[in-house]
């Protein structure tokens, strides 16, 4: 399947063109946040210590990559940025950072609370230098400026945020075995909320002239993601438990085994349910008293799943999808290989090929899901080598 190739697009055409971002983030949550901005046209300058971002050299690498300037982890969330090496413990380098900060619109970091303050580059110092500056921090448990958490000094990773924020308790098999989500949603969702928050603060600064501190705690982000469990407990006192692949309140709404794989089907409404039954040649289920109403279908879900499962297991996934597509909500359980071959993915530019710095074979990264009609979005350039743009930034940002 054809993929968009090796972007080198003019970032000045993006919706965030002209926005200047100093990116002090490392690992995943913070770089994902600033990657979103870069994909939307912002000029993101990644400030790295002499050793580089902690993930830069973590891999994976292709066999053909002789330079190994960065691995796939780093590449995915740092494409389209410029890199400058600054040692914030060095007085001269710190002054260079201040010079850039006075011209920036945003500073982003995801260190533990107090780290940037101890280095002398925290929010209060930068706000005095540049009152319009928006400063965004993404941490495990937030910053005391917006709410003093008893855990504010704790380090955190994605798995900790998923566990403490309720997501793990809701994810797993119906026998009560819990699991974290495969993708690092504790990081990714926190980073996305960080981008929303800083853009809101930029809007405020555009008419007030005042920047501010934007704080996203990964723990808080997971509570926000689990909003349904929060209101359910308040309304009913019910503590959410793992529900397998089904939905706790509607049926049929699950993953079903086919003759050669698995597919997702959601048909809890009466119209969709009737269509599903007819297309599976089981119109008798429509008037079955066990399944007559949405409530009946939920209460008798085991029986319903047995009836549907028997029909679905006799058909391949492709046959089920062809039978239901466009009428009943259905989709195959795709692995990455299937995603690479899906025409939707190509049509939506959701896989993008990037040239490697050393000219070896290109690699493919996930594209940008935010699309716009009048201003282009998506990766604008390959990820940077460590300090690749230090020389061009020696005199600051230059004209907007």
The set of catalytic residues is 187
| C-alpha–C-alpha distance, residues 15 and 103, integer Å | 20
| C-alpha–C-alpha distance, residues 263 and 309, integer Å | 11
For strands 20-23 and 134-139, give the pairing. Answer: unpaired
Joined together, the tokens standing for residue 12 give 């000045």
| C-alpha–C-alpha distance, residues 310 and 329, integer Å | 19
212 within 8 A of 197, measured Cβ to Cβ: no
- Indicate the DSSP class of residue 209: -
| C-alpha–C-alpha distance, residues 353 and 346, integer Å | 11
| C-alpha–C-alpha distance, residues 363 and 96, integer Å | 34
Joined together, the tokens standing for residue 169 give 């308790």
Joined together, the tokens standing for residue 140 give 């495990």
| C-alpha–C-alpha distance, residues 317 and 305, integer Å | 17
Q: What is the 3-state secondary structure (H, E, C) of 15-64?
A: CCCCCEEEECCCCCHHHHHHHHHHHCCCEEEEEECCCCCCCCCCCCCCCC
For strands 253-257 and 213-217, give the pairing. Answer: unpaired
Nearest to 159 by CA among 130, 123, 185, 194: 185
| C-alpha–C-alpha distance, residues 144 and 165, integer Å | 19
List the strands of the sheet with 330-332, edge to edge: 253-257, 262-266, 330-332
Residue with structure tokens 């891999």?
59
Enumerate residues 6+ apart whose C-beta is below 8 A from 115.
none
Nearest to 384 by CA among 84, 55, 82: 82
Half-sphere exposure of 46 (CA within 13 A, CB side): 34
| C-alpha–C-alpha distance, residues 218 and 220, integer Å | 5
Residue with structure tokens 């501190």?
213
């Amino acid at each position: 399947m054809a993929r968009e190739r090796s972007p080198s697009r003019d970032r000045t055409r993006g919706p965030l063109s002209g926005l200047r971002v100093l990116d002090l983030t490392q690992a995943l949550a913070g770089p994902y946040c600033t990657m979103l901005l870069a994909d939307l046209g912002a000029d993101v300058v990644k400030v790295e210590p002499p050793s580089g971002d902690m993930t830069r050299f973590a891999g994976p690498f292709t066999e053909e990559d002789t330079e190994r300037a960065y691995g796939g982890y780093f590449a995915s969330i740092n494409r389209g940025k410029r890199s400058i090496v600054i040692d914030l413990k060095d007085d001269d380098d710190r002054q260079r950072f201040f010079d850039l900060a006075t011209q920036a619109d945003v500073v982003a970091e995801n260190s533990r609370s107090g780290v940037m303050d101890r280095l002398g580059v925290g929010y209060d110092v930068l706000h005095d230098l540049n009152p319009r500056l928006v400063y965004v921090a993404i941490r495990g448990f937030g910053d005391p400026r917006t709410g003093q958490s008893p855990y504010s000094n704790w380090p955190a990773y994605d798995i900790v945020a998923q566990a403490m924020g309720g997501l793990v308790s809701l994810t797993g098999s119906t026998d009560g075995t819990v699991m974290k989500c495969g993708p690092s949603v504790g990081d990714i969702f926190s980073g996305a909320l960080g981008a929303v928050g800083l853009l809101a603060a930029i809007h405020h600064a555009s008419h007030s002239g005042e920047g501010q501190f934007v704080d996203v705690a990964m723990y808080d982000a997971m509570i926000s993601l689990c909003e349904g469990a929060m209101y359910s407990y308040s309304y009913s006192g019910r503590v959410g438990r793992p529900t397998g692949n089904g939905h706790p309140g509607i049926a049929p709404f699950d993953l079903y085994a086919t003759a050669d794989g698995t597919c997702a089907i959601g048909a809890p409404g009466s119209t969709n349910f009737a269509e599903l039954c007819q297309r599976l040649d089981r119109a008798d289920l429509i008037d079955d008293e066990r399944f007559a109403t949405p409530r009946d279908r939920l209460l008798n879900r085991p029986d319903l799943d047995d009836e549907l499962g028997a029909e679905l297991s006799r058909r391949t996934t492709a046959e089920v999808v062809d039978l239901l597509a466009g009428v009943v909500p259905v989709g195959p359980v795709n692995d990455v290989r299937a995603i690479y071959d899906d025409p939707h993915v190509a049509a939506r530019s959701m896989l993008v090929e990037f040239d490697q710095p050393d000219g070896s074979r290109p690699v493919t990264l996930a594209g940008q899901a935010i699309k716009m009609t009048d201003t282009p979005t998506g990766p604008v350039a390959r990820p940077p080598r460590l300090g690749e743009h230090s020389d061009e930034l020696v005199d600051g940002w230059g004209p907007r």
